[in-house]
Amino acid sequence: MSIRMLMAATLVAAGLAPMAAEAGPVLDQIKKDGKIICIVNPKSPGFSVPDAQGVFQGFNVDFCRMAAAAIFGDASKVDIRGVGFSDSLKTLVAGGAHMASRSLTVTGTRDADPGLAFITPTFFDGQGFMVAKSMGLKSASELNGATVCAEEGSTTLLNLADWFSDHKIKYQVENFTDMTARLQAFFSGKCDVMSNDFTALAANRQLAEKPDAYELLPDMISSEPLALVSRPDTELQKTLFWSFQVMLTAEQYGINQKNIGEIVAKLSSQPAAVQRLFGDKGAAADMATKLGIAPNWTVEIIRQVGNYADVFDRHLGPKTALAIDRAKTPNRLVKDGGLLITYPIR
């Protein structure tokens, strides 16, 4: 008897024969409830904002739908809730939601919290400053004595303290838990400057009565890997991580929301990696069985949500109000000189 046959016999005898793995307790509950509850920023143009019908739309929102497409094969089976920053992590720890997709920075202390599981960065950002053009500033080094509007409880405050201390520049902070109050204070002139992630500032600028009256200074004072976060559950964490990888891998092979139907119809003529990704007997199908998620999860993610480029262009790209040039950010595939690396699905 070969070693492989002996091991298989031993597993059977011990009642450990290979079988479909049961989902973790959180993923089990999600499937029982028929929906995944996902937290987003309540008002962040381009990233998460309600449309005319009150339905959240945006870059971060699409990763909530990605999760539903993977778990259920249906991107609509998601309950998207707008929750302020200071309450978002508390809500997850307390079990009030299953995941968050709202530009949360991965930090050591947050990741060490046993009630949280940071999955993977979906956007690489950095902290900056927004000022009124009328101030005529060219650099953050000119902010001596400035009053800064910032978000209570965020890494923004810690980064400000480090940067101003390192540059020996005096400043004052106005802390606001409520985003609306913070914006009102800045746009009314109570603060000289607002500090946040560059993309958040770009979104905030769109909420001004006259967006063109404000500008972002060129200084980037921190690195902010903005990640998906979930309640700790191995199967849910793996589902979210690999679902994001499906979006990246699809982009790498030129597969998007428009051509996925054609790709699947002619799968036998596609590269081996694509066959493993979308085939009903490939690696992705095996992963679905082991994780207890929708058997056609990879196809439905791309069909219903799109690849990473689809999502970026739809909400943040040149044809949107934010008009972010992806080529000038780290949010490109590694093959294009960015930080988004594709893991092998095989």
Domain range summary for the chain, segments of one domain joined by +: 20-125+225-336, 127-222
pLDDT digits (tens, 9 = 90+) for 141-151: 999 999 999 98
Maximum Cα–Cα distance across the chain: 83
Q: 50: which residues sit within 8 A by CB, 6+ positions away? A: 56, 57, 82
Q: Which of 30-34, 67-71, 172-176, 254-258 has the lowest mean pLDDT?
A: 172-176
Residue holding tokens 């690849």?
A: 307
Q: Is the pLDDT of residue 8 over 70?
A: no
Which CATH class name applies to 20-125+225-336? alpha beta
Backbone angles phi, psi at 78, to 5 degrees: -140, 140
The 10s digit of each residue's pLDDT in 55-78 is 999 999 999 999 999 999 999 999
- pLDDT value for 178: 84
171: pLDDT strictly greater than 60: yes
Please tell me if the domain spanning 20-125+225-336 has the same topology as the one spanning 127-222. Answer: yes
Residue with tokens 């209570």: 152
Q: How far apart are CA 67 and CA 94, in angstroms?
A: 20
Which is nearest to 99 in space by CA: 224, 236, 199? 236
**CATH code reported for the domain at 127-222:** 3.40.190.10
Scan for tokens 């800064």, then name that residue. 148
Instruction: Give kind and range of the element (H or E) at residue 99.
Output: strand 99-105
pLDDT at 155: 86
Instruction: Using a pLDDT cut of 70, give the percent of the chain over it.
Output: 93
